[in-house]
């Protein structure tokens, strides 16, 4: 859980600006100032007045409407179980609530209340907040968050695999011990393929997304030869490894359905941000330590403008939808086709249009995708056959998930009758398979091929603008979560509170050196940064750093 300001600092900023930070992180400090209490009282009074006026007007309108519309059939006594007031209230509910609000100009009451509260808070309460310990704590956390990120911020470990532009290795943040996966993009390889736009697009989409069904971007930085994306580490391996390398190809249907449900949630989160993924395949679906899956490798993802469609013949042969093969315009339909291919492969142990280890040319495989109908074995239940056939419809206008209700229609399919999506999205369902923490679910390090050296490409100053846009340091929300999970949030705030308790003794004394506790603050200054730092104490006993 993040601090009240959303930055992990515990500064109480959310109390003063409720519209800036989400209500899920709201918390009132233990020692709220009188102005905060007054602000809350004023806000409550304004809201109560608006609600009272709205309710009174609504009662008058609905009573008049009921009197005009009700025929005279004599007086009817109210039921003994309900009072007359309850009876009239129930009768007034016949008028649609939305219509009542429109007739009353309901939003105007809310707007006037907001203006009143914001005007009040922007004056004395904000000045007092700026003089409080919570604002200083907010600034200190923001200073830590915006520290430069370099290769010395991390310890680097074994290679986990290969991407399109370089290796993927495990890494660990020196200050907190948090493990991540570092995806390296070789600068020369990017320049030779003219893929600067693709790399920057992936970085921006990952930075924008915060879904527990899609890998999170925590840091970006550059070295002399590479650009690096520091992502959620997924120690459980990818789905391709689990489908083909652990016994007979394929899964039992309940396991496949569970993964399909999580994929559906991931695609829904992408589509809420108007993003089409376009590369759904087992290699890009990773398992974490607990057995939950996440979508990775958003190199081919694209943001679809509202009300528009895009075109692009990209993806992996065998998983590309007919509209992509035909180079037609599309929105999110290729992702639902890809989900159908994945569900089929997880159950059958091979893709819908190619048998396991069958050698087929690209042209023949594309012909099968456009013209042939998939076949189902006895492994498929009727519900599994149904969802696969509905997701693998050639015409995207009839494909499941491609209508106006989108992911909601897919979730309502009978194959998911045993899945509670509310609990799934809240991380309250146990996966059917949990990876062994002692096992390594990836290829041997000797089997992972090495990239060849890129020759004939020179890096110059014209590339610096692109590098500066890419290497922007840490991403706020994942960094805040890391501070909380590692205990640094608690340690630093606790140290600050201890300092505030003794600050009155130092008000008239010269600032002295504050030795930090042997925790995060000390470790972060030893991250290999060749620079001297001085820790000083301000008048309130809170340490700050000068470098």
Report the binding-site residues.
183
Instruction: Tell me whether residue 297 is one of the annotated catalytic residues.
Output: no
What is the distance between the alpha carbons of residues 536 and 357, in angstroms, rounded to a whole number?
66
What is the distance between the alpha carbons of residues 383 and 392, in angstroms, rounded to a whole number?
14
Decide: residue 487, CB within 10 A, 0-12 exposed, 13-18 middle, 19+ buried: middle
What is the distance between the alpha carbons of residues 98 and 93, in angstroms, rounded to a whole number?
11
What is the distance between the alpha carbons of residues 182 and 389, in angstroms, rounded to a whole number?
38
Residues 6+ apart with CB under 8 A from 139: none
Encode 368-406: b = buried (16+ Cβ within 10 Å), e = exposed.
bbeeeebebeeebeeebbebbbbbbbeebeebbbbeeeb
Residues 6+ apart with CB under 8 A from 151: 221, 223, 228
Encode 310-336: b = buried (16+ Cβ within 10 Å), e = exposed.
eeeeebeebbbbbbbbeeeebbbbbbb
Residues 6+ apart with CB under 8 A from 77: none
What HEC string does 15-45 produce?
A: HHCCCCCCHHHCCCCCCCCHHHHHHHHHHHH
Q: Which residues are annotated binding-site positions for ATP?
A: 183
Catalytic residue among 279, 288, 297, 335: 279
Ranges of H-type helices in 373-503: 382-391, 407-411, 421-425, 464-470, 476-485, 488-501
Q: Just list the catalytic residues.
A: 279
């Amino acid at each position: 859980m993040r601090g009240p300001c959303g930055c992990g600092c515990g500064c109480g900023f959310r109390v003063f600006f409720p519209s800036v930070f989400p209500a899920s992180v709201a918390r009132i400090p233990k020692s709220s100032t009188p102005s905060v209490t007054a602000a809350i009282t004023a806000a409550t009074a304004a809201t109560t007045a608006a609600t009272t006026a709205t309710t009174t007007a609504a009662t008058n309108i609905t009573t008049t409407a009921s009197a005009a519309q009700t025929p005279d059939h004599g007086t009817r006594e109210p039921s003994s179980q309900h009072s007359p007031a309850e009876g009239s209230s129930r009768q007034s509910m016949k008028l649609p609530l939305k219509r009542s609000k429109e007739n009353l100009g309901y939003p105007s009451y809310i707007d006037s209340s907001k203006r009143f509260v914001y005007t009040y808070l922007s004056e004395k309460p904000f000045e007092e907040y700026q003089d409080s310990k919570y604002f200083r704590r907010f600034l200190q956390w923001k200073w830590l968050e915006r520290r430069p990120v370099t290769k010395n911020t991390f310890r680097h470990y074994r290679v986990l695999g290969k991407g399109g532009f370089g290796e993927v290795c495990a890494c660990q943040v020196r200050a907190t011990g948090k493990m991540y996966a570092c995806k390296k993009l070789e600068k020369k390889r990017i320049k030779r393929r003219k893929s600067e736009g693709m790399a920057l697009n992936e970085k921006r989409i990952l930075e924008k997304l915060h879904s527990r069904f899609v890998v999170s971007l925590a840091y970006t930085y550059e070295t002399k030869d590479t650009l690096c994306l520091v992502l959620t580490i997924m120690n459980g391996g990818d789905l391709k490894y689990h489908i083909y390398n652990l016994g007979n190809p394929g899964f039992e249907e309940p396991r496949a359905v569970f993964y399909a449900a999580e994929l559906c949630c991931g695609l829904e989160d992408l589509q809420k941000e108007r993003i089409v993924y376009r590369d759904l395949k087992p290699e890009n679906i990773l398992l974490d330590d607990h057995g939950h899956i996440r979508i990775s490798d958003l190199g081919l993802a694209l943001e679809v403008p509202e009300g528009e469609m895009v075109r692009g013949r990209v993806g992996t042969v065998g998983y590309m939808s007919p509209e992509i093969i035909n180079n037609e315009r599309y929105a999110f339909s290729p992702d639902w086709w890809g989900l159908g291919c994945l569900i089929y492969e997880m159950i059958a142990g091979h893709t819908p249009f190619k048998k396991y280890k069958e050698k087929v040319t690209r042209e023949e495989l594309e012909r099968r995708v456009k013209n042939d109908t998939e076949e189902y074995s006895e492994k498929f239940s009727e519900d599994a056959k149904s969802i696969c056939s509905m997701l693998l419809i050639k015409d995207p206008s009839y494909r499941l998930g491609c209508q106006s209700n989108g992911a909601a229609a897919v979730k309502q399919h009978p194959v998911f009758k045993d899945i509670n999506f509310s609990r799934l999205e809240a991380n309250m369902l146990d996966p059917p398979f949990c990876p062994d923490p002692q096992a390594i679910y990836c290829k041997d390090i000797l089997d992972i091929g090495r990239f060849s050296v890129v020759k004939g490409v020179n890096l110059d100053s014209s590339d610096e603008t692109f590098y500066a846009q890419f290497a922007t340091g840490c991403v706020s929300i994942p960094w805040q979560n890391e501070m909380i999970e590692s205990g640094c949030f608690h340690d630093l705030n606790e140290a600050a509170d201890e300092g505030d308790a003794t600050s009155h003794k130092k008000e008239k004394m010269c600032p002295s050196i504050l030795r930090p506790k042997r925790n995060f603050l000390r470790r972060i200054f030893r991250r290999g940064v060749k620079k001297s730092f001085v820790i000083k104490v301000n008048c309130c006993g809170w340490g700050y750093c000068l470098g």
